[in-house]
Amino acid sequence: MADTGEIFLNAAGEPVLRRCAVLYLDLLGVRAMARAPEAQDHLAAIARAVTSSYRNFLHPASQWPAAMLSDALILAAPIPSEQEERAAVFGLINQAALLQLSLVEQGLFVRGGIVVGDFHIHDGLIFGQALGDAYERESNDAVHPRVILDELAAGSQAATGAEDDEDPAATLLMCDEDGWTFIDYLATLFDEYEDPRPRLTAHRDTINAKLELHRSDRRLWEKYRWVAEYHNEVIHTRIRDEAGLLVAQPAMTWRFQPFAP
């Protein structure tokens, strides 16, 4: 396969910035995983997620150049021309949804941001304003385990009304109450011919396990409570008669006890 990294070099072989859609993902809890006695198992889980049955997201010749360092995963979609910006952002949204689902299915929840701007990634060198902007969206605005799009990235996916241009990302995006557009990664399951229920059941069980594990740590627990709300929204809107697939309310509700001196 061709080395897509070559587009980040000029004719003299010097590094150059290119306009890209950039995804910055933060894998929650990875620093603690690296220090845990089961670090080897956690490493294997991360490797399974990024080299999934779907694709190798870190393939050196990937059409979406990528890098992973510590708990951050970066993916880019070069934008060859202004006319191709909408398609390039859509391509990155597709990849982000599939990557997020793959990570979550290994128990790895993520927070992230997608932006459009100047970026460079080649031979281990990662640089550019888009990297900083995507990191800021992740660290300042995402808050929950969701991947949000900045205004430019989200705006690029608005319907144009053109005959051959049917708002392609609409079924992969959701809007949160705080105004952020985020990736509806579970939507990819409903594109598949295979029954989505077994994977939705596994998703529910993973959330239940996280909610139980972190019940005494409110900061962490609230993150998984948001995922539970998202999961239930997907079930309610896409499989209306499947109450058994929902995260049960007691698992995602605050518990109080009387004062007992």
Please identify, using beta-carbon distances, which residue of 191 and 233 lies nearer to other proteins: 191
**The total number of residues written for the chain in this structure:** 261
Binding pattern to other proteins, positions 197-216, x when CB under 8 A? Answer: x-------------------
- 158 touching other proteins, by CB under 8 A: no
Residue pair 151/54 in contact by the 8 Å Cβ criterion: no
Contacting residue, 5, 30, 94, 122, with other proteins by CB under 8 A? 94
Minimum distance from residue 98 beta carbon to other proteins (Å): 6
x-marked contacts with other proteins along 51-90 as a string, rule CB under 8 A: xxxxxx--x-xxx-------------x--x---x--xx-x
Question: Among residues 100, 156, 157, 188, which is the contact residue for other proteins, using CB under 8 A?
Answer: 188
Nearer to other proteins, 77 or 115 (CB): 77
- Residue 101 Cα distances to 56, 95, 98, 182, angstroms: 14, 10, 5, 14
Provide the minimum distance between the beta carbon of 154 and other proteins in the complex, in angstroms, as a whole number. 16
**Residue (21 or 251) nearer to other proteins, CB:** 21
Determine how many CB atoms are found less than 10 A away from the CB of residue 126. 18
User: Which residue blocks in the chain are alpha helix, DSSP H?
Assistant: 30-35, 39-50, 85-104, 129-136, 151-155, 187-191, 197-213, 218-238
DSSP secondary structure, 42-58, as one string: HHHHHHHHHB-SS-BTT
Number of Cβ within 10 Å of residue 230's Cβ equals 22
Residues near other proteins, by CB under 8 A: 1-2, 51-56, 59, 61-63, 77, 80, 84, 87-88, 90-91, 94-95, 98, 163-164, 166, 168, 170-171, 188, 190-195, 197
